[in-house]
Amino acid sequence: MTIQKSDISAIVKDNEQAVLRALDSADYIQTFLLVHALIESLLRVFLNKQESRLTFDELIKEYQKFLTEVQYPIPTFVEQLTQFNRRRNRMIHDLWKKGHSLTNQQAKGAAQASIMMYGLFIEWLETFDPDIVNSGFEYDG
């Protein structure tokens, strides 16, 4: 089953709107996790891995492989994506260790930063594939 770009676009728009609603309601865990899902989707579309069962970590490795193949000298965003994924894992563990209220309060900065990173990553990937925004990913809010 191949997902059409128009289908992806509707899903992306729905998730982007959910990010804004979660941020507006101070649900920072939800904000962060939704952005994580959006970035995973962005990587899958960019790398043409929509049908694969690759983990987020494996997608980062595929992205790094892409940068090597295009002979890009700096592994731009690789470390940020790796840290982003580790932060998500820590946040999930903090939910059962600290509870929702404290974890949510502590996630505010991470949630806000994740939105900024999402936009920057879209802009960056657009330098390789100007058509990526036609899949619905937006970086201007």
The 8 Å CB, 24+ separation contacts for 51-54 are 51/1, 51/2
Mean pLDDT, rounded, of the chain: 93
Model confidence at 5, in pLDDT bands (50, 70, 90)? Answer: low
> pLDDT per residue over 48-57, tens digit each?
998 889 999 9
Confidence (pLDDT) at 4: 55
**What does the alpha-carbon distance between residue 106 and residue 113 come to, in Å, rounded to a whole number?**
13
Q: How many CB atoms lie within 10 A of CB 87?
A: 16
Confidence (pLDDT) at 1: 44
> pLDDT per residue over 104-140, tens digit each?
999 999 999 999 999 999 999 999 999 998 888 986 6
> pLDDT per residue over 11-41, tens digit each?
999 999 999 999 999 999 999 999 999 999 9
Instruction: Kindly report the pTM of this predicted structure.
Output: 0.91
| Domain spans, the chain | 5-135
Assess contact for 136 and 9: CB atoms under 8 A.
Answer: yes
Backbone conformation region of residue 64, classed left if phi is above 0, alpha if psi is from -120 to 50, else beta: alpha
Confidence (pLDDT) at 52: 86
